[in-house]
Amino acid sequence: MPGAPGAAGSSGAAAPDALRIPARLACLDLVAEFVLGLGARAALPESALYRLRLAADELATNIVMHGYRGTAGEISVDGGIDPDQVWVRFEDDAPAFDPRQGMRAPALDVPLAERQIGGLGVFLAFTAVDSFEYELVAGRNVSTLVMRRSATAAGPGTG
């Protein structure tokens, strides 16, 4: 629930506040660079920035691999810095899918060889951020990751 996720551009810095990339694994480094730049401008602590990037990497990979499934497509990524949080939003035109559908806590009491495959990466990524939201808007998947900012990080550089 970002304060102004519809606003493109929140800080006036030279780094972009939006990114459009082809839905290909080879392009996902651009998403990581975008998230790292946004987090640096927001002065996120290293551990929070790592967790935000982890979630963004997992979400973008899932859009490419499970959303578009090798077909041509595009991913739009934008983000912002609010006084109390940093948010990253992904939009795509792949078939409607809420990434939380396959998310489940790991069955740590079951031997590794007997565990069900899938869903663990999503669980780890989305529990690493402070909130994750998904909605279908005009046929587009819209997923938003939010990381809260500490009181000390919410100084200069905020939107």
What is the structure's pLDDT at 151?
A: 52
**What is the pLDDT, as a whole number, of residue 87?**
96
In the prediction, which pLDDT does 103 show?
A: 61
Q: How high is the pLDDT of residue 116?
A: 62
| Residue 157, pLDDT score | 41
- pLDDT number for residue 127: 86
* Amino acid 76: pLDDT: 98
Q: Please list the ranges in the chain whose pLDDT falls under 50.
A: 1, 3-14, 152-159
Rg for the chain (alpha carbons), in Å? 16
Going through the chain in order, the beta strands assigned E by DSSP cover: 18-22, 74-81, 85-92, 131-137, 140-148
How many Å apart are CA 121 and CA 58, to the nearest integer? 7
The CATH fold of domain 18-148: Heat Shock Protein 90 (3.30.565)
Roughly how many angstroms between the first and final C-alpha of the chain, as a whole number?
16
Q: pTM of the predicted model, to two decimals? A: 0.79
